[in-house]
Structure formats: structure tokens, C-alpha cells
């Protein structure tokens, strides 16, 4: 059973591994503060066969874009995995502390850094959405997360949306977090990360009106990685899910376009998604981006824009969510040289 597709609380915990040094156990979660255009990212992953942990906390709003200018940057590499740690029950040396209250339902996140404290509880809004196999092949859009392996070991990926409640202190400001929309993911299995790998540009967009009305979609550029023009192109929506009236459908097709990009750095400012699901339903979502983190990410040559987005879809406006766009740094440089007059 190489690829997990069935909801199982056991997947909240670390899995049996093979001897692959690239075996990865990871979780990304983000939440946002509407009206403040502030976004918090808590992301960490373990390499259990290397005995190392990577991760931390990033907080940003419209005042800063990069690691050196965002409100708080607390990401660290090559930390030891504490003895007896689980992915959601651990205290890392850089101040990130997770505690499971109920598997796949509730987790407390705490963080103490320089001029920054976080204490929130994540509560799931519905059960996780597990990535699917299609005709024996991993659903497009998920292939970069982990690779299936032969034998009895499981690998997998799921997403789960919910709410955060608690508080954040950053830059001397105390911020109450009340029912802030969260997107959380979980991956496990071999995940190769090298700077000489070629990756197509991808995008992950999500929003939640309510637990019964939400979407999370995956877009992939169709050109070869180094031939991607970035601007003025239509990416293919290849996976994800759409929930309406409490009923979940798998996303089967669609398109994603950036309608406007910033003159100075090329980050997307306005987005439009056209999406169809397996139940024959469709929707159009228009997104406006208010704040962005430009981040080198976890790949050697794969950078990202992680952005707070307000979405309009299905008759609802200002729906809190996000859009992530990942591309090779070589592609980003070519794009900037060609369209933004990058100079030395």
C-alpha cells in the first residue's frame, strides 16, 4: 500500500521509513489576520534518517517582502530532532513548540523568538483531504511533495483547513487571533531536494468561506521549466478539491492566470481561477493579493511567493485565503531580466 488515500489518524504521527536519507515528514500551516493583511506561516519538517529538523516561523504584512524586511523571520536548518519527538509533539531548539490535543483535529502551536511570541490552537474544520492516485499515477500537482515507494511502507500527502485562535505578539504589537482561517498540510515519504533539479512553476491557491464552502487547487505551468515565460500565460489547474454545501468534489481541470504583476519584483497582484470538479460543478475565483513573502524555500533552486489573498467566488467577496507561486530561481531571473529590466 505505497500511497495513502484513506483518512487515518495514524498519519498524524511519524511513519515507518526505509533507509532513504531523503525521507521527509513535514507539515505546513498558515493563518491570516483580515483587516491587518498579516500572515503567519509555521512550517517544519523532519529528516528522520538524517536525524535533522528544519523549520520555524515567518510573519509578514505589507511593510516587508524579504527575509530581512518581514516582521519576523525565524527559520532554521539542521537542528537535531529531539529524542522522542513526534511531528506534532515536539519542542525544537529555535523556540517552535507543538502539542497534539487530538490527532488530525486539534494542535497547539507555540513559538518564542526575538521580539515575537505565538500561542494559538489550530482546530480542524473538517476531515483531511488526501491526495489521490489516478490510474496508478500520483495525482498531478502532488508529485513534488513525496514519491511513492514499493512494499508495505506508506507515503502520502493531505490538506486540511480549519481555524486558529489565540494570540501573536510581534514588533511590540499584541494581536488577538479569533477564528483565523488556516490551511494545513501533511506529507511523508522520500522528498529529494537538490539545486540541480528542474521544476516547473506551480501555484497553490486556497480560500474558506465556511467549513462547508472552500477550495484548494493546484496549478502547473505547461511549458518546459526553463522555457516558462511566467507572465501572460495560462497555467493548468490539475488537482485539489472544492467544497460547496458541505459536499466535497475532486478538482479535475481548470486554469489559473495572473492578471497583474508588480513592476519591481514580478509578484502576482491579481489572480483569476476557473475550476471544474468531479461532480460537474464549476466556479470562478478572483483574488487580490495584499502582502507577500518572497522566500527561497526548501529547495536549492526553487523560490516562492507566499501571499495573503482576498478571494471573490460563488457570490462571496473578501474571502480570506492565500496563493503560493513556486518557480526555479533561474526562471525568475530570466523573467526579471526580460520584463523588469533587471540590472547589476
Does 179 fall in a domain? yes
Alpha-carbon distance values, 127 to 42, 83, 160, 210 (Å): 20, 30, 7, 14
| Residue where a domain stops, chosen among 192, 226, 260 | 192
Do 166 and 96 share a structural domain? yes
Same domain as 260, residue 329: yes
- Domain stop point among 192, 211, 234: 192
Q: How far apart are CA 263 and CA 336, in angstroms?
A: 10
- Residue that terminates a domain, selected from 172, 192, 212: 192
Q: Over the Cα atoms of the chain, what is R_g?
A: 19
The pLDDT of residue 343: 55
How many domains is the chain built from?
2
Task: Tell me, yes or no, whether 219 and 86 share the same domain.
Answer: no
Highest mean pLDDT among 104-108, 187-191, 292-296: 104-108
Same domain membership, residue 198 and residue 187: no
What confidence score (pLDDT) does residue 195 get?
A: 82
Residue 2 lies inside a defined structural domain of this protein: no
Residue 17 placed within a domain: no
Q: How confident is the model at residue 302 (pLDDT cuts 50, 70, 90)?
A: confident
Assigned domain for 6 exists: no
CA dist 236 and 246 (Å) reads: 26
Same domain, 170 and 314: no
The CATH number for 99's domain is: 2.40.370
Q: Look at residue 1 and tell me if it is in a domain.
A: no
pLDDT confidence of residue 22: 93
Do 63 and 208 reside in the same domain of the chain? no
Does the predicted model carry a pTM greater than 0.85?
A: yes
Shared domain check, 200 and 98: no
Q: Are residues 176 and 314 in the same domain?
A: no
Asked whether residue 171 falls in the same domain as residue 235, the answer is no
Supply the pLDDT for residue 139: 67
| pLDDT at residue 119 is higher than 90 | yes
Distances (CA, A) of 37 to 42, 150, 284, 302: 17, 44, 23, 25
Tens digit of pLDDT for each residue in 195-236? Answer: 888 888 999 999 999 999 999 999 999 988 889 999 999 999
Q: What is the tens place of the pLDDT at every residue in 131-184?
A: 887 766 766 666 677 888 888 899 999 999 999 999 999 999 999 999 999 999
pLDDT digits (tens, 9 = 90+) for 35-71: 899 999 999 999 999 999 999 999 999 999 999 999 9
Write down the pLDDT at residue 309.
97
Establish if 307 belongs to a structural domain: yes
Residue 186 sits in the same domain as residue 74: yes
Cα 49 to chain centroid distance, Å, stands at 24
Alpha-carbon gap, residue 20 to 48, rounded angstroms:
10
Residues pairing with 186 in the sheet: 27, 158
Q: Answer yes or no: is pLDDT of 344 > 50.
A: no
CB 199 within 8 A of CB 328: yes
> Would 160 be classed as within a structural domain?
yes
My answer on whether 130 and 176 are in the same domain is yes
Cα angle value 176/178/183 (rounded, 5°): 115
Residue 8 lies in a domain: no
- Please indicate, yes or no, whether residues 178 and 289 belong to a single structural domain of this protein: no
Range of the domain at 109: 22-192
Predicted local distance difference test score (pLDDT) of residue 135 = 65
Q: Do 291 and 58 touch, CB atoms closer than 8 A?
A: no
Coarse DSSP helix, strand, coil percentages of the chain, rounded to the nearest 5 percent = 5, 60, 35
> Which is nearest to 57 in space by CA: 97, 103, 107, 12?
97
Amino acid at each position: 500500500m505505497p500511497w495513502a488515500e484513506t483518512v487515518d489518524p495514524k498519519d498524524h504521527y511519524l511513519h515507518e521509513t526505509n533507509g532513504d536519507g531523503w525521507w521527509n515528514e513535514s507539515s505546513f500551516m498558515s493563518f491570516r489576520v483580515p483587516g491587518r493583511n498579516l500572515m503567519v506561516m509555521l512550517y517544519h519538517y523532519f529528516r528522520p534518517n538524517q536525524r535533522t529538523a528544519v523549520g520555524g516561523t515567518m510573519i509578514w504584512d505589507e511593510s516587508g517582502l524579504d527575509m530581512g524586511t518581514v516582521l519576523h523571520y525565524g527559520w532554521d536548518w539542521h537542528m537535531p530532532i529531539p529524542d522522542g519527538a513526534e511531528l506534532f509533539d515536539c519542542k525544537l531548539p529555535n523556540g517552535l513548540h507543538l502539542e497534539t490535543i487530538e490527532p488530525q483535529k486539534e494542535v497547539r502551536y507555540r513559538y518564542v523568538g526575538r521580539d515575537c511570541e505565538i500561542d494559538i490552537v489550530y482546530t480542524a474544520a473538517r476531515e483531511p483531504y488526501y491526495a489521490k492516485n489516478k490510474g496508478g499515477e500520483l495525482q498531478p500537482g502532488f508529485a513534488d511533495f513525496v514519491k511513492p515507494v514499493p512494499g508495505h511502507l506508506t507515503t502520502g500527502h493531505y490538506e486540511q483547513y480549519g481555524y486558529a485562535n489565540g494570540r501573536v505578539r510581534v514588533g511590540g504589537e499584541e494581536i488577538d487571533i479569533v477564528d483565523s482561517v488556516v490551511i494545513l498540510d501533511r506529507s511523508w515519504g522520500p522528498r529529494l531536494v537538490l539545486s540541480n533539479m528542474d521544476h516547473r512553476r506551480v501555484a497553490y491557491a486556497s480560500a474558506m468561506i465556511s467549513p462547508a464552502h472552500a477550495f484548494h487547487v493546484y496549478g502547473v505551468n505547461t511549458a518546459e521549466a526553463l522555457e516558462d515565460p511566467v507572465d501572460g500565460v495560462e497555467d493548468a489547474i490539475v488537482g485539489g478539491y472544492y467544497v460547496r454545501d458541505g459536499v466535497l468534489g475532486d478538482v479535475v481541470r481548470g486554469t489559473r492566470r495572473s492578471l497583474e504583476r508588480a513592476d519591481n519584483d514580478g509578484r502576482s497582484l491579481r489572480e483569476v481561477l476557473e475550476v471544474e470538479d468531479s461532480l460537474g460543478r464549476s466556479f470562478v475565483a478572483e483574488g487580490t493579493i495584499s502582502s507577500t513573502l518572497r522566500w527561497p524555500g526548501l529547495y536549492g533552486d526553487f523560490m516562492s511567493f507566499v501571499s495573503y489573498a482576498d478571494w471573490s467566488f460563488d457570490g462571496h467577496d473578501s474571502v480570506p485565503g492565500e496563493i503560493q507561486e513556486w518557480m526555479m530561481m533561474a526562471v525568475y531571473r530570466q523573467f526579471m531580466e526580460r520584463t523588469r529590466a533587471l540590472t547589476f
